[in-house]
Structure 1
Amino acid sequence: MSTVTHDIVQKLWALCNVLKDDGVTYHQYVTELTYLLFLKMAKETGTEDQIPKGYRWDDLVTSQEPQRLTEYKRALLALGESRSRLVREIFASADTILKKPVTLTVLIKGIDSLDWHTARREGLGDLYEGLLQKNANEKKSGAGQYFTPRELIASIVTLMKPTLNDTIQDPAAGTGGFLVAANQYIREHEQPDNWTTEQRRKYRRNTFFGLEHVQDTHRLAVMNLLLHEVDVDPSASGIYYGDALGPDGEALCKRGATLILSNPPFGTKKGGGLPNRTDFTFPTSNKQFCFIQHIYNGLKPGGRAAVVLPDNVLFEGTVGKQIRADLMDKCNLHTILRLPTGIFYAQGVNTNVLFFTRGEDDKNNTKEVWVYDLRANMPQFGKRTQLTREHFTEFEAAFGKDPLCSPKSLAKRKDTGKHGRFRKFSRTWIEERGESLDIAWLKDEGDVAGVDLPEPGLLAQEIMAELEGAFEELRGILGDLGEDIEEAQA
C-alpha cells in the first residue's frame, strides 16, 4: 500500500470517531462506508448509469440536511431492488445505522474532500483492502474471521500459479481476498490485451466462483472484487450469497474446479446440526471437515487446492480420521505448512495450509507428506510483530516451482532432518499413527517474555474447539455402538 493510499485509509477510518456516540461497531462502520463509497466511486469512475437518477452521489450531496438522512434511507431501499445485479448485491437488505442527519453530513463531506484523483491512480482496490484490514485488526469487530492475511494469500497464490485455463473456487470467500489475488496473478503473468474473444468470455464467465453466507460480508466481497477490477459477468460468475454447507455448496461442488483456494470458518455448524447436503460421505457438524470434503470432492482430476485449516483437523479421531484417509486416497496431500501463531488472533487457534492435488483415480494417491514447520522458534505475531511476505520466502523456495507437485518435482526436495524445518513422512508411517497429520519435531526454544500472548477469551475459544472435537469423536463412538446420542445424554 502506497503512502498516499495509507493516508486516505487513515482519514476514512478516523471518520469512525464521528459515530462513537451512536454506539456503532467497526464492522457496521465499514458496511456503512461501503454504501457511501459505492455511490462516490460510481461517480469517480463514470459508471453511474447503473444507478437510477435521484439516488446518485450528487443527489445525496445536494439534498437539504434536515431531509438528507430520510433521502438516504429511501435510496438504500430503492437500490436494494435495482435491476442491476451488482447494485442489488451491494445494497441487499441495506439499512443505515446512522441516527442523525448531521452525522451523515460529516461522513459525506469527509468522503468528498479526499483526493480521489490520486486514489484512482494508486488503485481503489488497495484503498478498500486497507479499510478491510483495519477492520480485521480491531479484535472487537469480530471481522478477523473473514480476513485472511494478505501476505499469506500472496504466498499461496504464488505457489499455486493460477492461469486463465483454471476454474477457481473459494467456497468460503469472506471478503474475496483469494479470488482478488488470483485475478491479479493471472493479469500480471499473462497478456490480457492479447486475449481472444473466446478467452475473454472464459475469463468473465468461467474463472472465478465463490460463496459467502454472511450477507454483510458478501456485500464487502462484491465491493472488493469490483474495486480490484475483477471483470466477471455477474450472471455467470463472481461471489454469490449462499451457504456452502447447503444446496448452494452442493451445486458449486458439482460444477467442479481446477483450483480451490480457501480459508473455511472455524468451529461447528450453527445449532450443532449436520449440513444440509446429500453429497458428503462423512456427515459431521464440524465445519472444517465439511469444507475439506467439499474441496477435495469438488476438484477435477489433476486439480489442485490450498486450504487453511486449524490443528484439530490434523488429529481429531473417528470421522476426522476417516476424512483424512479419504483425502489422502483421492488426492496427493503433498505438503503441510504449519503456520506461526497469532495470524488468526480472532480465533486464537493454531493453523496450517494443506496443499493437495486430485488424482486421476481415487486410491493411494498420497505416497508421502512433506511438512514445513514455520511455527517453532518463530515470533508470536500480533500488533507488535507484523507478518510480512518475507516470512514465507524460505518455504516457497523449499516448496518448488511446480504447483501440482508431481512425483518428479517432489523428488527434488531436500529433507532437512530433525533439526531443520522441512521433513518428509511416508504414507505408511502416517497410517500407523492413526492417520494423524499433527506432526511436529522442532522444540520451541523461544522465551515467552515480552511476546504477544493470546487473550484469555481467545484461549477459551481454542479449548472449546478442542472440546467440540472430543464430543464429535464420542458421538462417532456411540454411533458405532448403535447408541442414540439423545438417550445417552438422558
Structure 2
Amino acid sequence: MMTGELKSKVDKIWETFWTGGITNPLTVIEQFTYLLFIKGLDEVETQREQEDALLGIESERIFPPDKQHLRWSKFKHFEAAHMYEVVSNEVFPFIKNLHGNKESAYAKYMGDAMFMIPTPQLLVKIVDGIDHIPMKDRDTKGDLYEYLLSKIATAGTNGQFRTPRHIINMMVELVKPTPEDIIVDPAAGSAGFLVAAGEYLRNHRSDLFLVQSLKEHFHNQMFYGFDMDRTMLRIGAMNMMLHGIENPNIEYRDSLSEQNNDRDKYTLVLANPPFKGSLDYEAVSSDLLKVVKTKKTELLFLALFLRILKPGGRCACIVPDGVLFGSSTAHKAIRKEIVENHKLEAIISMPSGVFKPYAGVSTAIMIFTKTGAGGTDHVWFYDMKADGYSLDDKRTPIEENDIPDIIARFHNREAEKDRKRTEQSFFVPVEELRENGYDLSINKYKEIEYEEVQYEAPSVILEKVEVLEREIIQGIKELKEMIRG
C-alpha cells in the first residue's frame, strides 16, 4: 500500500524532473524506472554477497571486480560531475551489455534505453531522492510503479489510455486465472492486466510456487504482452519485473497484422484494445477479415481473440458500447460469431465516467469462452452504476460501488435465474438475442418500472400559492415598518 509519506517522496522526485526540464510524463517514468532498476541490480548483488558469505560459496556476480564502481551503493557517494560521467558513460552501456547474462531479466528491456537527464546537479537530486525510497518489498515496488503510471494524465495518440486498476482487478477476479493458464494481452500498454493476473495468483494460488514446474511456468511462459509503442513496451516490461515476474514475454508486435500468426495458443485473454481509428485492409491479417470485414480496430480485436485462444480458452475484454448494438454488417457478424459459435457468458455495462479524465466513452466488459461449437444459452447482463469513484473528471472516492456485487453475482449465477428485468442484473435467453439481431446492449432488454405519482388537485395547489403570497406580502409590510422605525 502506498503510504502518504512514500507518495510525497515520489511527488518530490517527479517535481525535480519537471523543474529540471523533463516534462513528458512517459520520459519521467522511463528515466525514474531506469534508475530504480540500477538500484535494484545493486540490491540483488548485495543479497547474493550476503547469501554467499552465509553459505561459504562464490556465486556468479552481476558486477565484476573491475566494475564495482558502477554499483548504486558506490556511485551515489561520488561528487556531481563524476557521478554524471559514470552513470551516463559507464552504467548505462554496462546494463545494455548484460544481454548475455541470463540472470538479468532487467537487461532484456534496456537495449534501447537512453539516458536523458541533462545535468549532473539534476542527477544528484534524483539519485538522492530515490535512495530514500524503500525498495526491498515487492509490493512496495509494484505500488510505487502503479502510482507513477497513474501520473500519465493524457491519452495516447493511438487511442491508448490507462485502464483504471480497480476495473482491471475486477476483470481478473471475474475470470480467476489458474496456475496452468497462458495469459495474453495483445494491446498490453503498461501491462496492467498481466500484472494484476500475476498478483491474483500470488494472493490466491501461492501454492504454485511450491511446484517447480508451475513456478517456472509463472516466470517464463505464462505471460505474453504485445504493443506497437516501444516506450510503453519498456514501461510494461519493467512494471512486470518490479512485480516479481522474472522473464515476461513482452514484445513489439502489431497484433492485427499478417505477421502475427498466433493461433490456438493462449488460455486466457485480458485486454482493453484501442477503440479509436481504423486500419488499412492491406495491413490487417486476412483471416481476421474473413471473420469480420471491417477497418474498425475494436471489431478486429474480437476476431483476433477468438483466433489466438485455445478451445476452452476464456476472454474478458473491454469494448465500446457501439460494439454491442452497432447495425453495420461487421458489427452484427462478430456478435453472431461469438453468440452462435462460442459461449458468450456476460455483458457488464459500465458508466461513461469510468475512463475519465482520459475519455468519456461508454463501455462494457464482455466475457466469453472459445468453444468453436456454440454453447451460448443464457447471457448474464449487469448494469454497473457506480465503481467506487465519482464519475466526473476528478474521480474522487465515494461509497457507492457495484464491483463487489458484480463479482459475487457473477460467481453465483445460479441464483440469478429468477431475477426480473427491472433489477440490476438478469439473464437473457439466446433465442431473444437472435430475435433482436444479436443486440447486446443492456437497454434493449432492461425493463423500467414507472411508479405512479399522485399530485394534489390544481385548486388545492392554487390555494397554497395564495397563502404563500399573503405571507410574503405581510413580511414585506413588516420590513417596511421596521425600516421607517
Within 5 A, what are the aligned runs for 1:51-90?
53=67, 55-58=70-73, 60-74=75-89, 75-83=91-99, 84=101, 86-90=105-109
Distance, in Å, in 2 between the alignment partners of 1:173 and 1:340 is 23
Return closer, same or farther for 1:143/1:391 CA change in 2, 3 Å cut-off.
farther
Shift of 1:444: 12
The one-letter amino acid paired with 2:255 is: A
Shift of 1:38: 0.7
Moved over 4 A (4+): 47-52, 140-144, 271-274, 376-379, 387-390, 442-445
Task: Answer with 1 or 2: which has the greater Rg.
Answer: 2
Shift of 1:385: 2.9
1:99 aligns with 2:109: no
Q: Which segments of 5 or more consecutive residues in structure 2 lack a partner in the other structure?
A: 49-60, 451-485
1:111 aligns with 2:110: no
The one-letter amino acid paired with 2:405 is: E
1:397 to 405, 408, 413: 408
The one-letter amino acid paired with 1:37 is: L
Partner SS for 2:354: coil
The one-letter amino acid paired with 2:298 is: Q
The one-letter amino acid paired with 1:323 is: I
Shift of 1:70: 4.4
Q: Map Cα deviations across residues 439-465 of structure 1 (whole Å, 9 max, x no partner).
A: 3147799xxxxxxxxxxxxxxxxxxxx
Partner SS for 1:34: helix
Within 5 A, what are the aligned runs for 1:122-137?
123-133=140-150, 135-136=151-152
1:357 aligns with 2:369: yes
Partner SS for 1:309: strand
Q: Map Cα deviations across residues 289-318 of structure 1 (whole Å, 9 max, x no partner).
A: 121111122222222111111112212212
Return closer, same or farther for 1:122/1:226 CA change in 2, 3 Å cut-off.
closer
Q: Which residue of 2 aligns with 1:374?
A: 384
Shift of 1:377: 11
Give the stretch that moved more between structures: 58-67 or 412-421.
58-67
1:299 aligns with 2:302: no
Distance, in Å, in 2 between the alignment partners of 1:102 and 1:58 is 18
What count of residue pairs does the alignment treat as equivalent?
Answer: 422
Q: Which residue of 2 aligns with 1:33?
A: 32
User: TM-score if structure 2 supplies the norm length?
Assistant: 0.77
Q: Which segments of 5 or more consecutive residues in structure 1 lack a partner in the other structure?
A: 402-409, 446-490
Partner SS for 2:113: coil
Q: Map Cα deviations across residues 112-146 of structure 1 (whole Å, 9 max, x no partner).
A: 13344xx527532222222222x24x347889945
Kindly indicate whether the alpha-carbon contact (under 8 Å) linking 1:250 and 1:279 is maintained by their aligned counterparts in 2: no
1:157 to 165, 172, 197: 172
The one-letter amino acid paired with 1:61 is: K
Kindly indicate whether the alpha-carbon contact (under 8 Å) linking 2:275 and 2:320 is maintained by their aligned counterparts in 1: yes
Shift of 1:60: 4.1
1:186 aligns with 2:179: no
Within 5 A, what are the aligned runs for 1:79-478?
79-83=95-99, 84=101, 86-116=105-135, 120=137, 123-133=140-150, 135-136=151-152, 138-139=153-154, 145-192=160-207, 195-231=210-246, 234=247, 238-247=249-258, 249-251=260-262, 254=263, 256-269=265-278, 272=280, 274-280=282-288, 281=290, 282-316=292-326, 317-345=328-356, 346-359=358-371, 361-362=372-373, 364-375=374-385, 379-386=390-397, 390-401=401-412, 410-440=413-443, 441=446
Highest RCO, 1 vs 2 (Cα 8 Å, sep ≥ 6):
1
User: TM-score if structure 1 supplies the norm length?
Assistant: 0.77
Distance, in Å, in 2 between the alignment partners of 1:101 and 1:444 is 68
CA RMSD in angstroms comes to 3.2
Q: Map Cα deviations across residues 92-121 of structure 1 (whole Å, 9 max, x no partner).
A: 3222332222111111111113344xx527
Shift of 1:338: 0.6
Give the stretch that moved more between structures: 198-207 or 321-330.
198-207
Report sequence identity in percent.
28
Partner SS for 1:107: helix
Shift of 1:389: 10
Kindly indicate whether the alpha-carbon contact (under 8 Å) linking 1:144 and 1:344 is maintained by their aligned counterparts in 2: no
Shift of 1:157: 1.4
Partner SS for 2:402: helix
Q: Map Cα deviations across residues 360-400 of structure 1 (whole Å, 9 max, x no partner).
A: x33x4323322111148995254243378953011122212
Return closer, same or farther for 1:87/1:230 CA change in 2, 3 Å cut-off.
closer
Kindly indicate whether the alpha-carbon contact (under 8 Å) linking 1:173 and 1:221 is maintained by their aligned counterparts in 2: yes
Kindly indicate whether the alpha-carbon contact (under 8 Å) linking 1:77 and 1:94 is maintained by their aligned counterparts in 2: no
Distance, in Å, in 1 between the alignment partners of 2:425 and 2:345 is 12
Distance, in Å, in 2 between the alignment partners of 1:425 and 1:61 is 63
Partner SS for 2:347: strand
Kindly indicate whether the alpha-carbon contact (under 8 Å) linking 2:344 and 2:379 is maintained by their aligned counterparts in 1: yes
Distance, in Å, in 2 between the alignment partners of 1:112 and 1:228 is 19
Shift of 1:13: 2.4
Return closer, same or farther for 1:411/1:99 CA change in 2, 3 Å cut-off.
same
Shift of 1:2: 4.3
The one-letter amino acid paired with 1:150 is: R
Shift of 1:34: 0.8
Distance, in Å, in 1 between the alignment partners of 2:343 and 2:155 is 39
Kindly indicate whether the alpha-carbon contact (under 8 Å) linking 1:275 and 1:283 is maintained by their aligned counterparts in 2: no
Partner SS for 2:397: coil
Shift of 1:161: 1.3
